[in-house]
Structure 1
Amino acid sequence: MALFDYAPAPESRDIANLKPAYRPFVDGEFTDGAGEPLKTINPATGEVLAEVGTAAPSDVDKAVKAARRAFEKTWGPMPGSERAKYLFRIARLIQERSRELAVLETLDNGKPIKESRDTDLPAVAAHFFYHAGWADKLAYAGYGPDPKPLGVAGQIIPWNFPLLMLAWKIAPALATGNTVVLKPAETTPLTALVFADICRQAGLPPGVVNILPGAGHVGAEIVRHPDVNKIAFTGSTDVGKLIQREVAGTPKRLTLELGGKAANIVFDDAPLDQAVEGIVNGIFFNQGHVCCAGSRLLAQESIVDELTDRLRERVSTLRLGDPLDKNTDIGAINSAEQLAKIRELTEAGEAEGAQRWTSPCPVPDRGFFFAPTVFSGVHQSMRIAREEIFGPVLSVLTFRTPDEAVAKANNTPYGLSAGIWTEKGSRILAIAGRLRAGVVWANTFNRFDPTAPFGGYRESGFGREGGQAGLEGYLDA
């Protein structure tokens, strides 16, 4: 029993300025899409938030043609110093409307408001500020004295960080002189369409940014369109493979940021209290809906019992519930389909002999929720150690030597991220150099910055987003 209870601290949903209906954004205007309208729901309650018009193939063609005109007549020829002004303006408008966007993101996605407010929105604005600074300095980016934009960029983003993934895609594309046709995830389209309104508010020329809501077939139409020069996709590995097959043999450029099964390695000399906080942040942040989540904890054998005890005690304090409550640590799973997948894999973990521990926190009787869960006694052959669960589920494995830690960390088809916990800087450098992961964190986890590139290897995709390296995917150097 807790020593004290937190009083409810709900954020007002009225701040989101929620509308009953939203429409696609093409050529600077909100238009009626020719696709079948969809209803986006609040995963914390199951209630319908709004009806959203979706795109049909004809809408994709209109958007690509609008983007091509804008690229050839206005945005492409525009000096970088002028493009930068628009990006700075967008960044400032995001800051001004950040509270509205944060509440809307939480309603549509299910993540806790404190994450939307304190993590996502500041990072969204930071990406536009950062890339605005590059817009007139591309000749010094290391890609030749006069790098050129590719043209029309088709971009497809996931539901776990709807607005942040939009910023990761759109900011570098616009800074380098490209125009954009973007499809938000089917379950989380609302903040992307409010971003479209911000583009209009900023005076962005028509056709530079186009937003097309819809299901996977809309993304497929964007990928297939012959007048799209670049595809940028963040999502599942299976869909990434389909996209790669589709663009093979075409001149289209491609970057993919796909799944992960990251190892978080804790050595026996690590500060355990600090490591526990990093482990919790690594897997339970955003309900585990993170491609680079530290879903495999590799603990040195001599400390695994103590570390697991401390971890369970800490996880027991996490508060699960209403995402709009400022006290909530664990919000709602984004959809019924994702919740079913999490349940299937956790049941498989139990069936294969792992020891399941689930936080005793109360679970709401409506909405899509899953209590934080830790599996001990996990072997590498188990599904929970091999497959991406994409939920608040941690698998604990052990190792005895650094070589064994590296071998187990690399024993995955993925290669997106990893974490190392030790007091020895020499060990950090030695282990990091041997891990096959695009990002390796040392004594921390899930730290992001727009100046730092992010991306993976193997089935986690290829190409980088963010930083100077992230500009390359949008330049014809």
Structure 2
Amino acid sequence: MTRTHAEWRAAAAALPFDGRPVIDGARVDGSSGQTIAKTNPATGAVLSQIHACTEADVDTAVASARRAYASGAWSRAGAGHRRERLLELARLIEARADEFALYDSLDMGKPVREAAAIDAPGSAALYRFYGEAVEKQEDLIPMTPPGSTALVTREALGVVAVIVAWNYPLEIATWKLAPALAAGNSVVVKPPVEASHSALLLAELAIEAGIPAGVLNVVTGRGSTVGRALALHDDVDMLAFTGSTEVAKQLQQYAGQSNLKRLALEAGGKSANLIFADCDDLRAAAEKAAFGSFYNQGEVCSANSRIFVEREVYDEFLALYAEAARAYAPGDPLDPASGIGALVSERHADEVWATIERARRDGRIAAGGARPEINGSRAFIEPTIVTGVPADHELHTREIFGPVAVVTPFDTEEEAVARANETPYGLAASLWTGSLSRAHRVSQRLVAGTVSVNTVDALGFTTPFGGFKQSGFGRDLSVHALENYTDYKTTWLQWG
């Protein structure tokens, strides 16, 4: 059902908020007694008090996860049983999709219509996907000498820690949790302090779905305390992370300093979008480019924020792109008519705005470049298109994580590829061309985990998502994500 602005506001006013962690199947108080005020970035109003958990709380949660794993109630229950429980969890998420959408919208500012139509239903569907997929995995019986048989099985790793980013709180948590749980692991989640409520609701629904207590724990608090404790914990077998490259590097150090735990790190990005003059539909390319750079307030790790356009069509594309950007005008996240919502905080908006001001000095603002005040909040920024900055400018080199994109002309295919790859990241890239040979040739040369041809930022449940270079390693989505949370075991039977 599509809700009106007034209906979403009424539902938001009635929404319950509880900032306590979920450990061993129940809401508990953090041991420190301290809390962190969580505000709505779109209004500045305080939503709740998030409990600031400590290392002691992490120890309690990890011990709960270890007991649950060792009991076998989940890990040895069989893929068929886990499938049924994950299907039930999916059903419960769908039944409360609007509640999940409101939590994420109020926490981090995204339009509620997108969270309700895409994030929550997509998360439910992903639990179904992995519930079904894990039951269809096959073990191996390789050739061995006469008188012996070897079984090669994929085994769950044990206790998995998950550290989640704030830009897609429910969805990114699901990308990690669904395969980790389907494989039989127990999990401790550290949700972002900026957006913890959807993960906490998810943990409660897991119990309702019949997933045993201790299999899914959520420990709230700051990354410098909770995240660090999980990464250094000697009884955590694996850690999955989505966030900044700087934090990913720190987590690698913590893994080495502790028990050499496995890591799957999806870090930063600075994706390029190449527009060739032989593109079949330049307007479609411009409209998709606007989606790729401004959707979700530009707070997307794979956002196509560097756009390179063949000089022959540069002016025409720029005009079409500026026109398309108008569809992403910021507004109240609870208003279905808003193009984008608020950035995650006024502090983050200050950082993005400072970048725009420097770009205004160093180049030209071709569209946008304003910071409206809405609902008394300064966390809103117009989609901003910048041209005329040098190749070493921060808009080309640094992940801004806001609705800002830079457009640059190129003259040759060689130049376009070189500029696209001129980044420490390698998460995603896009290209637009009407030539099949160019599509194959250029996509092969682009250093990116996903290359989208004649679209942007393409992904699906059946295709792996992740990056090269400083965008990290390991893959989310597809059956390949199960490889993050399992490993091979050989059982050799000598019988003759």
TM-score by length of 2: 0.91
User: Which residue number corresponds to residue 204 of structure 1?
Assistant: 211
User: Which residue number corresponds to residue 8 of structure 2?
Assistant: 12
Residue 26 (1) aligns with residue 16 (2) = no
Secondary structure (helix, strand or coil) at the match of 2:122 reads helix
Structure 2: stretches of 5+ with no match in the other structure: 143-150, 489-496
Separation (CA, whole Å) in 1 of partners of 2:138 and 2:324:
50
Contact kept in structure 2, 1:348 and 1:383, CA below 8 Å: no
Separation (CA, whole Å) in 2 of partners of 1:115 and 1:457:
29
Residue 234 (1) aligns with residue 242 (2) = yes
Deviation string for 1:385-422 (max 9, x for gaps)? 11100000010112111111110000000000000111
Separation (CA, whole Å) in 1 of partners of 2:487 and 2:88:
26
Which letter maps to 2:424? Answer: P
User: Which residue number corresponds to residue 83 of structure 1?
Assistant: 82
User: Which residue number corresponds to residue 93 of structure 1?
Assistant: 92
Separation (CA, whole Å) in 2 of partners of 1:275 and 1:138:
39
Contact kept in structure 1, 2:35 and 2:49, CA below 8 Å: yes
Residue 135 (1) aligns with residue 96 (2) = no
Residue 403 (1) aligns with residue 414 (2) = yes
User: Which residue number corresponds to residue 121 of structure 1?
Assistant: 120
Residue 287 (1) aligns with residue 283 (2) = no
Match of 2:276 among 263, 267, 270: 267
Separation (CA, whole Å) in 2 of partners of 1:67 and 1:228:
9
Separation (CA, whole Å) in 2 of partners of 1:314 and 1:20:
37
- Larger displacement relative to structure 2 (460-469 or 99-108): 99-108
Separation (CA, whole Å) in 1 of partners of 2:396 and 2:19:
40
User: Which residue number corresponds to residue 5 of structure 1?
Assistant: none
User: Which residue number corresponds to residue 4 of structure 1?
Assistant: none
* Residues 142/393 of structure 1: CA separation in 2 closer, same or farther (3 Å cut): farther
Which letter maps to 1:225? Answer: H
User: Which residue number corresponds to residue 317 of structure 2?
Assistant: 307
How far 1:363 sits from its partner (Å)? 4.4
Residue 384 (1) aligns with residue 388 (2) = no
1:94-113 matches, within 5 Å, as 94-113=93-112
User: Which residue number corresponds to residue 47 of structure 2?
Assistant: 49
* Residues 111/273 of structure 1: CA separation in 2 closer, same or farther (3 Å cut): same
* Residues 429/11 of structure 1: CA separation in 2 closer, same or farther (3 Å cut): farther
Aligned-residue CA RMSD in angstroms?
Answer: 1.9
User: Which residue number corresponds to residue 441 of structure 1?
Assistant: 452
Contact kept in structure 1, 2:104 and 2:198, CA below 8 Å: yes
Secondary structure (helix, strand or coil) at the match of 2:445 reads coil
Separation (CA, whole Å) in 1 of partners of 2:454 and 2:177:
31
What number of residue pairs does the alignment pair up? 470
Residue 432 (1) aligns with residue 439 (2) = no
Separation (CA, whole Å) in 2 of partners of 1:106 and 1:161:
10
* Residues 94/264 of structure 1: CA separation in 2 closer, same or farther (3 Å cut): same
Deviation string for 1:347-374 (max 9, x for gaps)? 2222333445316795426221111100
How far 1:428 sits from its partner (Å)? 1.2
Q: Percent of pairs identical after alignment?
A: 39
Structure 1: stretches of 5+ with no match in the other structure: 1-7
User: Which residue number corresponds to residue 147 of structure 1?
Assistant: 154
Residue 214 (1) aligns with residue 221 (2) = yes
Contact kept in structure 1, 2:140 and 2:153, CA below 8 Å: no
Contact kept in structure 1, 2:363 and 2:386, CA below 8 Å: no
Separation (CA, whole Å) in 2 of partners of 1:98 and 1:303:
43
Contact kept in structure 1, 2:38 and 2:47, CA below 8 Å: yes
Secondary structure (helix, strand or coil) at the match of 1:45 reads coil
Contact kept in structure 1, 2:371 and 2:380, CA below 8 Å: no
- Larger displacement relative to structure 2 (288-297 or 95-104): 95-104
* Residues 140/10 of structure 1: CA separation in 2 closer, same or farther (3 Å cut): farther
Deviation string for 1:143-180 (max 9, x for gaps)? 98411000000110010000001100100000111110
Deviation string for 1:81-106 (max 9, x for gaps)? 11111111111111111112112211
